[in-house]
Chain A
Amino acid sequence: MVMNPVSPSLSTPETSRSSVIRGAVVRFAGDSGDGMQVTGDQFTAAAALARNDLATFPDFPAEIRAPAGTTYGVSGFQIHFSSQDVFTPGDAPDVLVAMNPAALKTNLKDLKKGGLLILNNGTFNATNLKKAGYEVSPLENNSLDGYTVLSIDITKHTVASVKDTGLSNKEAHRCKNFWTLGLMFWIYSRPLEPTLKWIDSKFGKRPDIAAANVAALKAGHAYGETAEVFQQRYEVPAAPVAKGEYRNIGGNTATALGLIAASQQCGLPLVLGAYPITPASDILHELSKYKHFGVTTIQAEDEIAAVCAALGASYAGNLGVTSTSGPGMALKMEGIGLALSVELPLVIVDIQRGGPSTGLPTKTEQADLLQAVYGRNSEGPVCVIAASTPGNCFTMAIEAVRLATKYMTPVILLTDGYLANGAEPWRIPDVSELPKFEVKFRTDPTNFQPFERDPQTLGRNWAIPGTPGLMHRVGGLEKDYDSGHISYSPENHERMVKVRAAKIAGIANDIPPLGIEVGEDSGKLLVLGWGSTYGSIREAVQRCRDRGLSVSHAHLRYLNPFPANLGELMQRFERVLVPELNLGQLVKMIRSTYLVPAESLPKVQGHPFLIAELEDKIRQILES
């Protein structure tokens, strides 16, 4: 079920030219302009087509083209692929590809001892070395001892391989990433055809560039075959996963597809209001392609207009959705408050990033939890849920729509930069497996009261403009309990505050109880996570269990309300540990809600947890 990432035994000579390994962690690192994300995506696609299980972690700077050669301009892409289940992109890479000195400088510390280091020595000139902060070239001292170093002038080889395509020198240099990809494909025994096809579709309008990239890819592959610098190449067999049709999917794509699926399942046209913001913009890009699904996307003038347009669409009977990240969430709060006050469905997707303020736009964090749960003025309860993996974004997006329409409430779906940009193989669900939920508009004028509630859900009537006989007014002023007329009555206000709270609390009866992901349902330690830390926690808990420790993992996908059995589940463990990528926000909610002495494991570095960090903490708790 769970595997330890296995390093290829690079130092062991093998008689066979190709050996089967369980998997590897590979990191590509280079300048922002070196095409590392494209390289990583193509390498990922090849692993997916080979049916490996995988997880990816793109890590890039906020600047589009930071000055070339600098350490802050380094862009990285890590992939963990395996014939076993994969839960994280891996802690330390087995293989590091460094396209320039800055990439080596910033990434070498992570490479496993003995790991394979492939570097482009064509970029190790005095200028680049100085920019990276090297006084002496690391190629010329013994600082790389302890790694298997493959130093190649990738620049020279690339330029030579594309010389017949008539590209300028600058354009020729830009093919380096495909040369490198070709070499990596050779090392991991991957076919070139899918990438050749991709190049054709991507660069079809520039046949000269397409031809050059093809030439570079093939040349890199041929280099592996002929240069005889490798002791071996590797094969990673298919992972034994459940039967079905699979695709590789990233979190933002999965969120977008989930929203479309939900819109189709409930029969409401989807209206997305959004303002460009990293790392959420891809949801806007993705949804804007699907006009033929009745999807309307509005690139609004700002975050506030985006949420207001989505709410206006819901008011008129469509499915209003808005997507954003932390700073945008802050701006949307008054709009969300209006939505909960007029009790209309609204889905808000917050792809969390490092903060406060502009913070770390391209880095991940889970620090919007309290903002999501408590961020409105006055008593402003909304439903808050979170996705745990890129593929789970699909499921939770549908869940957000189900709850929003059933309970007539805003639902905040939290994902983060790590889920948004990371990818994993995803079993494509059959449409018949998807939850189908009916949305009913009020049409009967008899005894119509706009704020009359369903006795079970406490959701109010949804009467949309265009419906004869149901004309009524709603707004952000306090409303009379049934009629919705403006009411300043003290008793009525308290009753309304309480019913809005009770409605959200009641959702606990309509969501799955919290289960145990790994381990027994009682014991010494429960590691309670939420959101994108799923993979790291699961792997760390399993490793500790393999050592005989009494530890289990539970993972929250519902943050407000909590699953009804959460308190009871925690009671069955002696201690509760809450790891999260913030200073302890969930743990604060857990302690105040259940009065349990849950312990916090916070991390706020813009990066996900390493498995080892979690493992160390669990062992420290249980072995001390």
Chain B
Amino acid sequence: MSELINPAKLTKKDFETDQDVRWCPGCGDYSILANVQKMMPELGIARENIVWVSGIGCSSRFPYYMNTYGFHTIHGRAPAVALGVKIANPSLSVWLATGDGDGLSIGGNHLMHCLRRNLDIKVLMFNNRIYGLTKGQYSPTSELGKVTKSTPSGSVDQPVDPASFALGVNASFVARSIDTEAQHLGEVLRRAAAHVGTAFTEIYQNCNVFNDGAFDAFTDKAVRAERQVRVEHGKPLVFGANNDKGLRLNPKTLGLEVVKVGEGGVTLDDVLVHDETNPMFGQLLARMPFPEFPVAVGVLHATLRPTYDGTLRAQQKAARDKLGQGDLAKLLRGGSTWTI
């Protein structure tokens, strides 16, 4: 079915399948797929050791288009299936493709537990703020008042912010990027791939059929410099076409405020320097209200803590070290026995 290739010599093409890609023309998913296929060879992992797991929804068709192992599961449950895959074979590189409906509505529970457990898998959440595959109902990330087929008077649901949610359940890696920003997306994906633990990446993805232009207010070329802050560990949180705006902590409100360097005595030293290891930074950046604040993209938070699968393996090794390899005959004779 597919030829063997030295992982060091893999190219983008080796990760493409012979299946027709069935997303709508112009969908942001194409760009995400292309960026992932471009990034994957850089990992140096043989294709047979990579597994893509997904749930249901447009984003969850992703595995069919990756020439790796793939499992298109059921709605919302991909994190639970991925848990079993990773436990069964921890040497696999396990990737999960999900969406805002799959991951935060029907599958919010599983995603929460995956993140808090810190299972060593990579989660890409394609957030288009709409249900695409069911033809346009509002999603848990849709803005309040969203008018859709199912909410002709506007939705009454308060949206959830995926990155803030992930930080709230103690995710060890939380990043954001944008479907159309190939270079930035590539960099974020590389960081996610290198992370040991659950790497959660939210990708703003345009659904040109049911929610076209949902992110234009901060992704459009004309405004993005002013409306995005690209965070980098150890660098000041500045943005703007002239890099003259910054984020400062207001100690009285424990919140951020936008300042202009050079105005009112503000200097670059007043601007916060991003510390991705401190989850407070991540949470403040994730929850900035738009458009009063820019949208933070990049690695909001990254820290190392023990993984679920690693701890499990350690327990198993400890049990074997202490008790030796299990002896079935002895096990069956456990407890009190008598012979007749």
Contact = CB atoms under 8 A, between A and B. Distances in A.
Contacts of A293: 325-326, 328, 331
A327 B110 CA distance: 19
Interface in B314-340: 315-316, 319-320, 322-326, 328-329, 331-340
Given A312-B85, A320-B84, A470-B48, A292 B71 contact: no
B336 A245 contact: no
Contacts of B112: 301
Contacts of B89: 316-318, 464-466
Nearest to B332: A428
A247 B77 contact: no
B290 interface: no
A292 B67 contact: no
A48 B336 contact: yes
A311 B80 CA distance: 9
Interface in A454-475: 464-475
Interface string A43-59: 00100110100000000
B340 A246 contact: yes
B113 interface: yes
A296 B109 contact: no
A312 B74 contact: no
Contacts of B336: 45, 48-49, 194, 247-248
Interface string B68-82: 111111100101111
Contact of A51 (B50, B315, B338): B338
Interface of A is mostly: mixed
Nearest to B22: A486
Contacts of A306: 80
A269 interface: yes
Contacts of A298: 83-84, 87
B312 interface: yes
Interface string A324-338: 000000000011011
Interface string A212-254: 0000000000000000000000000010011111111000000
A119 interface: no
A313 B85 contact: yes
B165 interface: no
Given A335-B77, A476-B73, A241 B51 contact: no
Interface in A261-306: 261, 264, 269, 271, 273, 290-294, 296, 298, 300-302, 304-306
Contacts of B329: 430-431
A473 B80 contact: no
B77 A308 contact: yes
Most buried by A among B48, B82, B320: B48
Contacts of B86: 312, 316
A290 B338 contact: no
A337 B89 CA distance: 24
A574 B158 CA distance: 67
Given A194-B336, A246-B340, A247-B334, A314 B84 contact: yes
A308 B340 contact: no
B53 interface: yes
B49 interface: yes
Interface size class of B (residues with CB under 8 A): 35 or more
A292 B323 contact: yes
Contacts of B333: 245, 247, 428
B46 to A, nearest CB: 7
B1 interface: yes
Nearest to B60: A475
A445 interface: yes
A181 interface: no
Given A335-B77, A469-B3, A315 B71 contact: yes
B72 A471 contact: no
A292 B324 contact: yes
Contacts of B69: 465, 471-473
Contacts of A317: 88-89
B34 interface: no
B250 interface: no
A294 B316 contact: yes
Contacts of B319: 291-292
Contacts of A485: 19
A260 B335 contact: no
A311 B320 contact: no
A312 B88 contact: yes
B320 A291 contact: yes
B245 interface: no
A316 B68 CA distance: 13
A218 B260 CA distance: 85
B162 to A, nearest CB: 19
A559 interface: no
B47 interface: yes
Interface in A335-378: 335, 337-338, 342
A309 B110 CA distance: 11
Most buried by A among B17, B331, B339: B331
B335 to A, nearest CB: 5
Given A238-B340, A471-B1, A471-B69, A300 B87 contact: no
Given A312-B85, A431-B329, A472-B69, A291 B92 contact: no
A317 B3 CA distance: 22
A465 B49 contact: yes
A300 B73 contact: no
B132 interface: no
A245 B331 contact: no
A310 interface: yes
A573 interface: no
A431 B320 contact: no
Contacts of A428: 332-333, 337
B84 A308 contact: yes
A578 interface: no
B1 A472 contact: yes
A485 B18 CA distance: 10
B340 A471 contact: no
Contact of B325 (A243, A292, A471, A486): A292
Contacts of B79: 305
A45 B323 CA distance: 26
A305 B51 contact: no
Contacts of B74: 308, 334-335, 337-338, 476
Given A247-B333, A313-B84, 16 more contacts: A49-B336, A51-B338, A245-B339, A261-B328, A264-B326, A273-B84, A292-B323, A298-B83, A318-B84, A318-B88, A335-B74, A445-B4, A465-B92, A472-B1, A475-B63, A475-B73
8 interchain residue pairs of minimum CB distance: A312-B84, A475-B72, A293-B326, A308-B80, A316-B88, A473-B70, A291-B319, A305-B80
Interface of B: 1-4, 17, 19, 46-51, 53, 56, 63-64, 67-74, 77, 79-89, 91-92, 109-110, 112-113, 312, 315-316, 319-320, 322-326, 328-329, 331-340
5 contacts: A243-B340, A247-B336, A309-B81, A317-B88, A471-B1
Interface of A: 45, 48-49, 51, 194, 238, 241-248, 257, 260-261, 264, 269, 271, 273, 290-294, 296, 298, 300-302, 304-306, 308-318, 320, 334-335, 337-338, 342, 428-431, 445, 448-449, 464-477, 485-486
